[in-house]
């Protein structure tokens, strides 16, 4: 887990990219991780071509949640909302690399969950739980 806190992660934590809020976003969503209280909001603007033209995120929380959201924000421009809604956990894991302990996986996924929720217009599932078999009872 200590190898996770690489230079570029700390840089995104301390200097988050696309941080802030949009005046009148076309899509927006805010959610929190009730386990730790981390909170993230994503605002998306969509251009006439149907693709994301501007992105802002805001929130507070640990280095993992904030850096993951910052890096994700850099990859959303140019995508359609349908594409954003379809993003899977790999889109975050590729950015943040390996080494996240299971206990901290939700921190890494919070930003993606919120961005997908904004694109869907409704609360999305946790990306790391998607595709999992429904729990049999």
Partner 1 sequence: MIATADLRAHQIARDFPLLRQPTSRGKRLAYLDSAATSQKPQAVIDALVHYYTHDNANIHRGVYELAERATDAFEEARAKVASFINAAEPAEIVWTRNTTEAINLVSFTWGLANLGRGDAIVCSQLEHHSNLVPWQLLAAKTGAELRFIGVDGDGLHMLDDLDAKLRNVKLVALSHVSNTLGTIAPLDSIVPRAHAAGALVLVDGAQSVPHFPVDVRALDVDFFAASGHKMCGPTGIGFLYAKRRLLETMPPFLTGGDMIREVGYETSSFNEIPWKFEAGTSNVAAAIALGAAVDYLASVGMDWVADHERRLTAYALRRLAAFEPRGLVIYGPPRTVDRSGVISFNFADIHAHDLASILDTEGVCVRAGHHCTMPLMEKMGWPATARASFYLYNTEEDVDQLAFALEKAATIFRL
Q: Which residues bind partner 1 (CB under 8 A)?
A: 1-2, 4-5, 10, 14, 35-38, 60-64, 101, 103-104, 107
HSE-up of residue 36 (Cα within 13 Å, Cβ side): 16
Residues facing residue 19 across a β-bridge: 57
**Residue closer to partner 1 (CB basis): 1 or 82:** 1
Distance, in Å, from the CA atom of 126 to the CA atom of 8, rounded to the nearest integer, reads: 25
Nearest approach, Cβ of residue 10 and partner 1 (Å) = 7
Nearest approach, Cβ of residue 39 and partner 1 (Å) = 9
Nearest approach, Cβ of residue 103 and partner 1 (Å) = 8
Nearest approach, Cβ of residue 130 and partner 1 (Å) = 24
Total Cβ atoms within 10 A of residue 6: 13
Q: Maximum Cα–Cα distance for the chain, whole Å? A: 47
Distinct helix (H) and strand (E) counts, the chain: 5, 3
**Residue closer to partner 1 (CB basis): 22 or 62:** 62
**Residue closer to partner 1 (CB basis): 103 or 132:** 103
């Amino acid at each position: 887990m200590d190898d996770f806190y690489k230079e570029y992660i700390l840089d995104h934590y301390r200097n988050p990219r696309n941080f802030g809020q949009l005046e009148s976003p076309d899509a927006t969503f805010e959610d929190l991780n009730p386990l730790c209280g981390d909170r993230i909001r994503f605002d998306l603007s969509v251009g006439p071509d149907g693709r994301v033209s501007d992105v802002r995120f805001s929130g507070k929380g640990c280095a993992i949640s904030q850096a993951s959201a910052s890096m994700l924000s850099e990859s959303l421009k140019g995508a359609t909302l349908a594409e954003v809604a379809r993003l899977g956990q790999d889109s975050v894991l590729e950015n943040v690399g390996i080494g996240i302990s299971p206990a901290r996986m939700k921190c890494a996924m919070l930003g993606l969950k919120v961005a997908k929720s904004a694109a869907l217009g409704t609360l999305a599932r946790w990306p790391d739980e998607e595709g999992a078999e429904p729990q049999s009872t």
